A and B are shown apart, each in its own frame.
Chain A
Amino acid sequence: MAKIVVDGLEYEVDSDNNLLQECLSQGLDLPYFCWHPCMGSVGACRQCAVKQYRDADDKDGLLVMACMTPASDGAIISIEDEQARDMRERVIESLMISHPHDCPVCEEGGECHLQDMTLMSGHNYRRYDKKKRTHRNQYLGPFINHEMNRCITCYRCVRYYDDYAGGTDLVAQASHHHTYFGRHEEGVLESEFSGNLVEVCPTGVFTDKAFSEHYARKWDLQSAPSVCTGCAVGCNTTPGERYGTLRRIVNRYNSEVNGYFLCDRGRFGFDYVNSDARLTTPVRQVNGVSTAIAESQWQALLEEFTSGEVIGIGSPRASNESNFALRCLVGDSHFYSGMSDSEHGATQLILELARDRAFHSPSIRDIERADAVLVLGEDLTNVAPRIALALRQSVRNKAKELAASCNIPRWQDAAVRELAQHERSPLALLSGYATRLEDVASDSLIDTPAVLANIGHAIAAKLSDKAPAPVALASDYSAAVSRIAEQLAKAQRPLIIAGTCAGDVALIRAAANIARALHASSGQVTDLCLVVPEVNSIGVGLLANKDNLLSAALEKMHSAAVKKVIVLENDLYRRAGHQVVTDALASVEHLLVVDQLPTATTAKAHTLLPTTAFSEHEATYVNYEGRAQLSFQVQRNQSSAMPAWRWFSDRRQGNVEAIVNRCAEEAKDFAKLDDLLPDVKQFVAGMKVPRQSHRYSGRTAMIANLNVHEPKQPVDDESVLAFSMEGIPSMKDATILGAAWAPSWNSNQAISKFQDEVNGELKQGHTGSLLIERTDPNASYFAVDKPAKKGKKGALQVAMAYQIFGSDELSARSHSIQKRMTDAYIGISPEDAEALGLVQGDSVSLNGNGDLATACIRSRIKPGTAAVYCGDNQINAHSIGESLLISKSAARSDDRGISGLIVSDLYEEGY
């Protein structure tokens, strides 16, 4: 702690930070552009000029950039000094020389940091009367608009895109006042995190393309704190709605989870909510003919499912409340997680490890702090992208360590990078094919899951002699095994990552053994991150009986042992083989399916009930680390759709709070779920928190085409939020923060006003509840799995592959995401391709069963292995088996092919 004086007032600050960050932490208004809370300082924009004085007697002082000056003890500065104010005003004037002043037609208008800083700096009148410099814009793909004339050259975009997110195709070009930020030629931005440019850019150079196609001002959006349902990380988001449609998603800060950044699946994968295909009416389906069910008949229909034996198949993409309500309806023993057998088994293994006191499940922020990481099998960029972004930060810990040894402050971003060069904290990747983190990996070993698991056991055995010995391992791995083991042993905060997507629990067991060996040698709780694919895989995994396998349920259905089945927001064709599902469903007497969008399963339903989408209800989800988070309702669904739990409740009574409370009381491990509910009693005079900003416009006119009277705002009985502009001012008292706004701070940069310090926790808001108690003592090591049998001769061993744009069921139905999706592909080595007579992009048929995919020849995949990407369930993963025969096919499976596919090792002949 240090004391500094700012304009005569003394503040306690952290001397490890710079003056700008500490001023913002103290709530002071000091304009800036190039500095970013998690990217540090480079001193480019010169906007944060302040006057610094040598001592109390120094009356002249010197201008310094606050972002480049340490907050040393005893520092005396002035923000209000006339010279400093004048400098800041001049800088804005300079930046505005060529800025087009097109705020009225700019998507950034109203939440533009440049607008805010311009006002704050006091620059009013344009004196520049010469010609403006102009630029050409580039096509950057379906997500991002490019409008370079607005650029103020703060370098934030490239510092974020290249330095922070590891992108390689957005750079600064040219020089002096012609400096340009773009690709080397037009084309899709390759990074999976490109959407953050929208928020990183302080003005309107990079804007959300999908949003601008159906645009509304920030202040006109109705919004609420939400949670992304795109994967199991559970990033916090703020979706915005206008005129009944969801318009966009922006990041919502959560210090433990997503911080400031989302992935592009999360940001752009939402507009299925607006789809015309959404289910809107309860229907009976007989022989392909749908007839609406009158509201008066709903109750009788559901009562049919309250008696006798009913199978309830839950879903990892449905909320805790809906899964729990279904479980209540059908009883524990008849409730199934809805995951495939292997996924369910792997998830239950993960939950077992989640109770082990030897381990800790790291948050995203914890992952960023790891100083040696081993990833076993998972392609994180495509299954849990935000973790991949966090790993890119973890490898920089070495740089920060080196900087500290040379007395270079860690916030001196360019200097820290220059000092460290290519020195990184170790990141070892063990995977079936090259992943998108290879560029920052210290080791990347490509092999089959069985061999990878064995390498894992070999590492564990190096770390502790109590760990079981691996089976014989190819000698060319021994050096890597020793190296990785040593790196993990030396680390202060080692981290082991595995998960269910690689499709082999042996990898999870090996990961656990390594973590256990580390625990044994260090005596410290070890970070073990076990990744699952869907937003509520862990939640439904906790609610479902360990032994209730989907195959058993399908068998009971097929044998007609149970005649009534409820399927909750789940397409069973994604969970089991095609024929098995078809046979089972054909034998069911009454199949009730509730879902948001039509699927292969809803097509088979006898009764089909529409449910609300994530933005249309309040719900809780449990992320990969066991963190339960509450997602609020943003908008009303105007159809008959309801949250699934409500369909399952008696006469559709009760509210979400009641079911959360009941879940907390009754379901094991969910005791802390009700901690998430805001306490209305704390609110001033029972006022609610408005979903609409105080500047929300057009409320009286929005439906004037129907009725000129101002409608009464809909009342929200359930939530502490209101569909209204009125209520508790968001700056104060609220424990809920949707879109951050503070006086003078209209952009997302307002977030510093809500943090207890820059990068700290929100004063308002909740980082979530960690549900699972670690009560089990350190268990014993898993035995080493026997090596797998050899597959069919000539067949390729299957390794499942995923794509960030396509593998997730719901986001794959969004417009923007579809523009980035490719055909299903079979990834093979150049050697195998040659043997099979295949070239890049050929159509191939699989096992001769009629399934088609595109050949994707990849440089870094083990010969004899096929990486199978199923597309949007275009290929049924469960029908393939462990080995695959492929052959060239004349028929094309899909005109998309794999053009535009971004993998790091796409093979090109001759290179």
Chain B
Amino acid sequence: MSSANTVKHSDVIASTTTRARKLTAEEIKEIEHEMTLYPDKQAVGLEALKIVQKHQGWVSDESLLGIARYLDIPAADLESVATFFNLVYRHPVGKNVILFCNSVSCWIMGCEGIKDHIKDKLGIDFGETSVSGDFTLIPVPCLGDCDRAPVMMVGEDLHRNLTPEIIDKIVLDYQSN
């Protein structure tokens, strides 16, 4: 049972333990541009996540807090959307993100075999990054190029009519060294 003034504060942790990262001038410039396109800061928040990801590769806790501070919006609101959308990465990713289409047309056209080939070749499954740090493999819904299935994206580039041979070439083209 309690007695007066005996409880210590030690079991209370501060509400925010992660420190915000200061956004770079370039990031700020781009975020400020978005401010002119949307009438509400919340909309800019999602854009800012994309901007930061473009520059940093992914959105770290520190970056997320940095955006929250810069835009003066709750970090939790940013987390809420950051975790909702497929293309916002809250974990580090490799230099090249492979968005691998596994939707129905690609499936019919044998994308599972292609994926197995990538898995063997790079030693990664969906959600994983190769040891070299060159590739992260992520499944993506239909890429809208079904007449040339199977397809996948590496970074901003679309690759079509995939075969194991084409995969081998892509890996060579994109990997470092």
Q: Which residues on A are within 8 Å of B, measured CB to CB?
A: 139, 141-142, 168-175, 180, 183-188, 190, 245, 271-272, 274-277, 421-422, 597-598, 813-815, 818-822, 872, 895-896, 899-900, 902, 910-911
A residues in contact with B79, CB < 8 Å: 171, 173, 184
Cβ of B76 and Cβ of A171 under 8 Å apart? yes
Given A175-B83, A185-B16, A276-B1 contact (CB < 8 Å): yes
Cβ of A819 and Cβ of B11 under 8 Å apart? yes
Given A173-B83, A174-B84, A187-B14 contact (CB < 8 Å): yes
B169 at the interface (CB under 8 A from A): no
- Among the listed A171, A183, A245, A900, which residue makes an inter-chain contact with B12, where contact means beta carbons less than 8 Å apart? A900
A residues in contact with B5, CB < 8 Å: 813, 818, 872
- Among the listed B7, B8, B15, B69, which residue makes an inter-chain contact with A169, where contact means beta carbons less than 8 Å apart? B15
Once bound together, how far apart are the Cα atoms of A183 and B61, in whole Å?
13
A residues in contact with B20, CB < 8 Å: 911
- Among the listed A172, A186, A272, which residue makes an inter-chain contact with B2, where contact means beta carbons less than 8 Å apart? A272
Once bound together, how far apart are the Cα atoms of A175 and B83, in whole Å?
7
| Chain A residues touching B, majority SS | loop
Cβ of A895 and Cβ of B9 under 8 Å apart? yes
Chain B positions 77 through 96: 1 when the CB is less than 8 Å from some CB of chain A, otherwise 0: 11110011000000000000
Once bound together, how far apart are the Cα atoms of A93 and B117, in whole Å?
40
Chain B positions 122 through 156: 1 when the CB is less than 8 Å from some CB of chain A, otherwise 0: 00000000000000000000000000000000000
Cβ of A184 and Cβ of B15 under 8 Å apart? no
A residues in contact with B83, CB < 8 Å: 173-175, 180
Once bound together, how far apart are the Cα atoms of A711 and B80, in whole Å?
56
Additional pairs, 15, CB under 8 Å, beyond known A171-B77, A186-B17, A272-B2: A139-B13, A168-B76, A171-B80, A173-B80, A185-B16, A185-B18, A187-B15, A188-B14, A275-B4, A422-B40, A818-B7, A895-B8, A899-B12, A900-B12, A911-B69
- B3-62 residues with Cβ-Cβ distance < 8 A to A are 3-5, 7-9, 11-18, 20, 22, 40, 61
B residues in contact with A173, CB < 8 Å: 79-80, 83-84
Once bound together, how far apart are the Cα atoms of A508 and B69, in whole Å?
37
Q: Which residues on B are within 8 Å of A, measured CB to CB?
A: 1-5, 7-9, 11-18, 20, 22, 40, 61, 64, 69, 74-80, 83-84
Once bound together, how far apart are the Cα atoms of A911 and B72, in whole Å?
10
A residues in contact with B74, CB < 8 Å: 168-169, 171
Closest to A814 in B: B2
Cβ of B13 and Cβ of A813 under 8 Å apart? no
> Smallest distance from the beta carbon of B38 to chain A beta carbons, Å?
13
Cβ of A815 and Cβ of B2 under 8 Å apart? yes
B residues in contact with A872, CB < 8 Å: 5
Cβ of A275 and Cβ of B2 under 8 Å apart? yes
- Among the listed B4, B69, B84, which residue makes an inter-chain contact with A598, where contact means beta carbons less than 8 Å apart? B4
Cβ of B76 and Cβ of A170 under 8 Å apart? yes
Cβ of A175 and Cβ of B84 under 8 Å apart? yes
Closest to B84 in A: A175
Once bound together, how far apart are the Cα atoms of A272 and B7, in whole Å?
12
Cβ of B80 and Cβ of A188 under 8 Å apart? no
> Smallest distance from the beta carbon of A344 to chain B beta carbons, Å?
27
Once bound together, how far apart are the Cα atoms of A574 and B11, in whole Å?
29
Cβ of A900 and Cβ of B14 under 8 Å apart? yes
Given A169-B74, A184-B79, A896-B1 contact (CB < 8 Å): no
Cβ of B40 and Cβ of A421 under 8 Å apart? yes
Please give me the 9 A-B residue pairs with the lowest Cβ-Cβ distance, nearest first. A168-B74, A184-B79, A171-B80, A818-B7, A896-B9, A187-B15, A171-B76, A173-B83, A277-B3
Cβ of A169 and Cβ of B1 under 8 Å apart? no
Interface centre among B14, B17, B20, B79 (most CB of A within 10 A): B79
Closest to B20 in A: A911
Cβ of A187 and Cβ of B64 under 8 Å apart? no
- Among the listed B2, B7, B17, B80, which residue makes an inter-chain contact with A274, where contact means beta carbons less than 8 Å apart? B2
Cβ of B4 and Cβ of A272 under 8 Å apart? yes
- Among the listed B2, B8, B16, B64, which residue makes an inter-chain contact with A813, where contact means beta carbons less than 8 Å apart? B2
Cβ of B12 and Cβ of A910 under 8 Å apart? no
B residues in contact with A911, CB < 8 Å: 20, 69
Closest to A902 in B: B15
> Smallest distance from the beta carbon of A211 to chain B beta carbons, Å?
14
Interface centre among B2, B3, B78 (most CB of A within 10 A): B2
Cβ of A900 and Cβ of B2 under 8 Å apart? no
Q: Could you name 12 residue pairs across A and B whose Cβ atoms are closer than 8 Å?
A: A139-B13, A173-B80, A173-B83, A180-B83, A183-B76, A187-B17, A274-B1, A275-B2, A819-B9, A895-B9, A899-B12, A900-B13
A residues in contact with B14, CB < 8 Å: 187-188, 899-900
Once bound together, how far apart are the Cα atoms of A184 and B9, in whole Å?
23
- Among the listed B4, B12, B75, which residue makes an inter-chain contact with A820, where contact means beta carbons less than 8 Å apart? B12
> Smallest distance from the beta carbon of B54 to chain A beta carbons, Å?
22
A residues in contact with B61, CB < 8 Å: 184-185
> Smallest distance from the beta carbon of A441 to chain B beta carbons, Å?
15
- Among the listed B1, B69, B75, which residue makes an inter-chain contact with A184, where contact means beta carbons less than 8 Å apart? B75
Closest to A175 in B: B84
Cβ of A276 and Cβ of B9 under 8 Å apart? no
Once bound together, how far apart are the Cα atoms of A245 and B2, in whole Å?
11
A residues in contact with B4, CB < 8 Å: 272, 275, 277, 597-598, 813
B residues in contact with A141, CB < 8 Å: 12
Once bound together, how far apart are the Cα atoms of A217 and B177, in whole Å?
66
B residues in contact with A275, CB < 8 Å: 1-4
Closest to A813 in B: B4
> Smallest distance from the beta carbon of B127 to chain A beta carbons, Å?
13
Once bound together, how far apart are the Cα atoms of A30 and B2, in whole Å?
43
B residues in contact with A139, CB < 8 Å: 13
Cβ of B75 and Cβ of A819 under 8 Å apart? no
A residues in contact with B76, CB < 8 Å: 168-171, 183-184
A residues in contact with B12, CB < 8 Å: 141-142, 188, 819-820, 899-900
> Smallest distance from the beta carbon of B101 to chain A beta carbons, Å?
19
B residues in contact with A422, CB < 8 Å: 40
Once bound together, how far apart are the Cα atoms of A439 and B75, in whole Å?
15
Closest to B7 in A: A818
> Smallest distance from the beta carbon of A44 to chain B beta carbons, Å?
15
Once bound together, how far apart are the Cα atoms of A814 and B7, in whole Å?
9
Once bound together, how far apart are the Cα atoms of A896 and B84, in whole Å?
37
A residues in contact with B22, CB < 8 Å: 910
B residues in contact with A168, CB < 8 Å: 74, 76-77
Once bound together, how far apart are the Cα atoms of A170 and B77, in whole Å?
8
